[in-house]
Structure 1
Amino acid sequence: MNSSSPRIAIVWRGDREARRTATTQNNRYHRIFEELAAVGLAPEPAVFDEEFADEVLDQLLQVDAVLVWVNPLDDGKTRAVLDPLLRKVAETGRFVSAHPDVILKMGVKEVLYETKHIGWGVDTRLYRTAAEFREALLPRLQANGPRVLKRNRGNGGQGIWKVELVEAPSAGTTSVQVLEARSGSIPETINLDDFISRCETYFEDNGCIVDQPFQSRLPDGMIRCYMSGDRVVGFGHQLIKALVMRPPGSGSQPLQPGPRIMHPPSAEPFQTLRTKMENEWTPELLSTLDIDSTSLPIIWDADFLYGPPDDAGNDTYVLCEINVSSVFAIPDEAPPEIAREMALRLDRLSVNPDKISRGATSHI
């Protein structure tokens, strides 16, 4: 490896021992390390935890670019310390992906509301206060049937609920059946007021709740469209069981999802979706959110459910989430594309170690 090769730090969460023992090969990102090295870059591990955040900051201020894989919620820990740290690094001119400001634009559930006019959108509502949520939810359930409610930031199905009326309101009370998308969740019948109270914490720290109609084709599976910048680098199709109710009489144990089957970007069943993502929807996303294409994450994904067939009987697609903070697992085709995109970004930005050390380049 040339000593002048740009240094790329790969950040993931771990404890002190994980940081001490981390190498380019003893973690799940080893293929990404290999591919970055293959294009002439010098990747290195940068395990993060709040306990030694200053140490991580010192390391990141010595590299040329940073790639981050840290969930917004992880065993009670958030990115409240990490995100300001990454902003400091970016302000010195180092390339950070995904930058926290980009995450706040496209990696939150609010993006479903902001982009509902794009071809992937549906009847999507946004509640910014608990009072607004309390006033609107019952009429929405009565008029439109089952809804899916999503807290603005989260992962692993946390704070995503299917909600439907059990019976018409009577005697001042309303019962609903709710099911969280978190693994292992089972349906629960609860008073609507109690459920709304349970969700009020989602509005803390300027949070919000996004409200979408439940998609009846959910049992047909979810398509995860993996993107590197503005190019599709693969697909994953999974028969998910989150928010799928068990048939009556089939027991009460949580349903288990099927495996996610990975496909290359050339996979024939997904070419319509690929064309829409590359030629229509991603450019519209950038325009709507005022994001420059050079600020798109090095790796991100858009999760789609099947919508109702169109008039010609063709599949339609409904966006249910964009993942930016920590996209993994990924298709086999993705690591070399990540490396290609990383090298391209550095070249476009004319980034080299000397310019970085002087803080000559700034980037979102």
Structure 2
Amino acid sequence: MKNSPPRIAIVWRGDREARRTATPQNNRYHRIFEELAAVGLATESAVFDEEFADDVLEQLLAVDAVLVWVNPLDNGKTRRILDPLLRQVAEAGRFVSAHPDVILKMGVKEVLYETRHIGWGVDTRLYRTAAEFRETLLPTLRAEGARVLKRNRGNGGQGIWKVELVGSPPGRSSMVGVLEARSGSMPETVALAEFIARCEACFEDNGCIVDQPFQPRLPDGMIRCYMSEGRVVGFGHQLIKALVTPPPGSGSQPLQPGPRIMHPASAEPFRALKQKMEEEWTPEMMSALNIEELALPIIWDADFLYGPPDASGNDTYVLCEINVSSVFAIPDEAPAEIARAMASRLRRSAMQL
């Protein structure tokens, strides 16, 4: 009798009705379902919510591999229940991508501090306690100018702020200009002590804040480098408006970002970045974070801003974030690469048995 194909579950967040009605065709991941099927893998939907987590666990324990698209923050919900569930599935011998432990290494802002020594890094500080944050922030702003502060876990610009000192009346407390990266945010001027108090929640549950210099070339856009394991599978370039201060006279309307323009991995403008990612920076990241090749996520991305040109006038790149928990939208070529990587991973796992 012919062996049945490996079973792959795709996990995303939804309610009971979404779980009941989910098919490989009626969701944003339909291209991934199609490509997985094209390489001979059996697929199924695994819509998740904390309300029926036990049902999802039972389902995932019955498949061979799990691909997960769930944000760390989503309308007040976190991955506090999901991550232990996925660890249990992995411990039972199922392949999980991305594994929660790998997310805690790669997909948090602390990675910017831990990899600051490699070619994508800049002068990056790390605050592990509210006391250290209170003591250090003002001297840093005075000495270095505008900084970008980032809570360790988040998405959609939540908990990312551009902060800079502004003029304060004599004898008054220091004032700062603050702009959050969250969509719809507008600049505000607040007392430094008030802003620091707002940030204290970032240190709960062993949280931290990462501090990087503001990049003046931010208006030139952000480059999203899409990766499947250690290979570049495409790029997205977007003229972002997060952390860009609206010009005077623009009123109370926040700036709107431009569209993300997708490019194939072979795109000439990003040839140097592709080479750096595949040959230098990803291996160096793996070494710094103690991540084995087989643990690299099936799909992840690294977001870069343009740094100052080098001595030859070539662009340099500054890492501002790595996304692992829920990487979407993706280039047209990426679903086939995801399927290829999954099939290869399962073959290698089978050979080790």
Regarding TM over 0.5, the answer is yes
Q: Which residue of structure 2 lines up, in the alignment, with residue 354 of structure 1?
A: none
| Structure-2 separation of matches of 1:287 and 1:35 | 31
Task: Give the C-alpha shift of residue 252 in structure 1.
Answer: 2.5
Q: Which has the higher contact order (CA 8 A, sep 6+)?
A: 1
1:11 is matched by which residue type in structure 2?
V
| Structure-1 separation of matches of 2:102 and 2:144 | 33
Deviations 1:252-310 (A, max 9, x none): 21000000000000011000000000000000000000000110000000000000000
Unaligned runs of 5+ in 2: none
Quick check: 222-231 or 341-350, which moved more?
Answer: 341-350
Q: Which residue of structure 2 lines up, in the alignment, with residue 151 of structure 1?
A: 151
| Structure-1 separation of matches of 2:161 and 2:134 | 15
Task: Give the C-alpha shift of residue 172 in structure 1.
Answer: 4.7
Deviations 1:205-260 (A, max 9, x none): 00000000000000000000000000000000000000000112222210000000
| Structure-2 separation of matches of 1:169 and 1:331 | 51
| Structure-1 separation of matches of 2:167 and 2:302 | 35
Q: Which residue of structure 2 lines up, in the alignment, with residue 206 of structure 1?
A: 206
Q: Which residue of structure 1 lines up, in the alignment, with residue 38 of structure 2?
A: 38
Task: Give the C-alpha shift of residue 3 in structure 1.
Answer: 6.4
Q: Which residue of structure 2 lines up, in the alignment, with residue 356 of structure 1?
A: none
Tell me the TM-score normalized by structure 1.
0.95
Q: Which residue of structure 1 lines up, in the alignment, with residue 194 of structure 2?
A: 194
Written as runs of structure 1 = structure 2, the 5 A alignment for 1:74-85 is 74-85=74-85
| CA 1:169–1:339: 2 relative to 1, 3 Å | farther
Written as runs of structure 1 = structure 2, the 5 A alignment for 1:257-296 is 257-296=257-296
Answer yes or no: is 1:119 the counterpart of 2:119. yes
Q: Which residue of structure 2 lines up, in the alignment, with residue 171 of structure 1?
A: 171
Tell me the TM-score normalized by structure 2.
0.98
Q: Which residue of structure 1 lines up, in the alignment, with residue 48 of structure 2?
A: 48
Written as runs of structure 1 = structure 2, the 5 A alignment for 1:83-122 is 83-122=83-122
Counting aligned pairs with the same residue, the percent is 81
Deviations 1:144-203 (A, max 9, x none): 100000000000000000001111574250110100000000001000000000000000
**Residues 246 and 252 in structure 1, CA contact (< 8 A), matched pair in contact too:** no
Q: Once superposed, what is the RMSD of the aligned Cα atoms?
A: 1.1
| Structure-2 separation of matches of 1:318 and 1:305 | 5
| Structure-1 separation of matches of 2:8 and 2:185 | 39
How many residue pairs end up in the alignment?
352
| Structure-1 separation of matches of 2:34 and 2:11 | 15
Q: Which residue of structure 2 lines up, in the alignment, with residue 339 of structure 1?
A: 339
SS of the residue 2:157 aligns to = coil
Answer yes or no: is 1:161 the counterpart of 2:161. yes
Answer yes or no: is 1:311 the counterpart of 2:316. no
Answer yes or no: is 1:69 the counterpart of 2:95. no
**Residues 152 and 210 in structure 1, CA contact (< 8 A), matched pair in contact too:** yes
Q: Which residue of structure 1 lines up, in the alignment, with residue 326 of structure 2?
A: 326
Unaligned runs of 5+ in 1: 352-359
SS of the residue 2:350 aligns to = coil
Q: Which residue of structure 1 lines up, in the alignment, with residue 132 of structure 2?
A: 132
Task: Give the C-alpha shift of residue 74 in structure 1.
Answer: 0.2
